[in-house]
A = this chain, B = another copy of it.
Amino acid sequence: MSNSIEIPFSTTLMVRDTCLCLHVQRAARALARLFDDALRPAGLTNGQFSLMMSLNRPEPPPMGPVAALLAMDQTTLTAALKPLQRKGWVTVMENPRDRRGRLLCLTPEGKSVLAKALPIWKSTHAMIDDKLPDGSAERLRQDLQALS
């Protein structure tokens, strides 16, 4: 006569302990906070650092491949570019060879900001690398890649 819709507490514990999605989201939030804190003096968030770093290429890339590289929705990329454009660190120009598309360029100021952030990234990354058992960083990257 019960509703039969109660999930046992043991199931809850199992999901909490095993869910890879939850584990990754948790680590993502923690790492984002860590890098955001470290990069704050440089005026960048972790996401802005990754995005701007991915724009540091010989040829300015269109939006699609950048969004794919970062595994983010194209609309997210459009939104993420706005503050960087406002600050004058990134310019978005029409692609002359495909007028539907845009090309993303780091400005000299953007490159300068990125260069100032780089040593912060290095030291922060070295720090978390040390928190992992020896050699597991590479393995971790491979496992994460398999999920993307």
Which A residues form the contact surface with B (CB < 8 A)?
Answer: 3, 5-7, 9, 11-12, 15-32, 34-35, 46-47, 50, 53-54, 56-58, 69-72, 108, 111-112, 114-115, 118, 121, 125, 128-129, 131-133, 136-137, 139-141, 143-148
A72 to B26, CA, bound (A): 7
> At the interface, is chain A mostly helix, strand, loop or mixed?
helix
**6 cross-chain pairs, A with B, having the tightest CB-CB distances, nearest first:** A28-B28, A26-B71, A27-B144, A5-B112, A12-B56, A30-B148
The smallest beta-carbon distance between A88 and chain B, in angstroms, is 15
Closest-by-CB residue of B relative to A6 is B111
Whole-angstrom CA separation of A7 from B133 in the bound complex = 30
Q: List the B residue with the shortest CB-CB distance to A31.
A: B21
Copies in the assembly, this chain? 2
Contact B139 A139 (CB under 8 A): yes
Q: In whole angstroms, what is the CA distance A108 to B132 when docked?
A: 42
Instruction: Check B128 against A147 for contact (C-beta < 8 Å).
Output: yes
Q: Point out the residues of chain B lying under 8 angstroms from A56, CB to CB.
A: 7, 9, 12
Q: With a CB–CB cut-off of 8 A, which chain B residues contact A19? A: 50, 121, 125
Q: Given A15-B53, A16-B53, A147-B128 in contact, is the A7-B46 Cβ separation under 8 Å? A: no
**Is A70 touching B129 in the complex (CB atoms < 8 A)?**
no
Contact of A57 among B9, B21, B54, B71 (CB under 8 A): B9
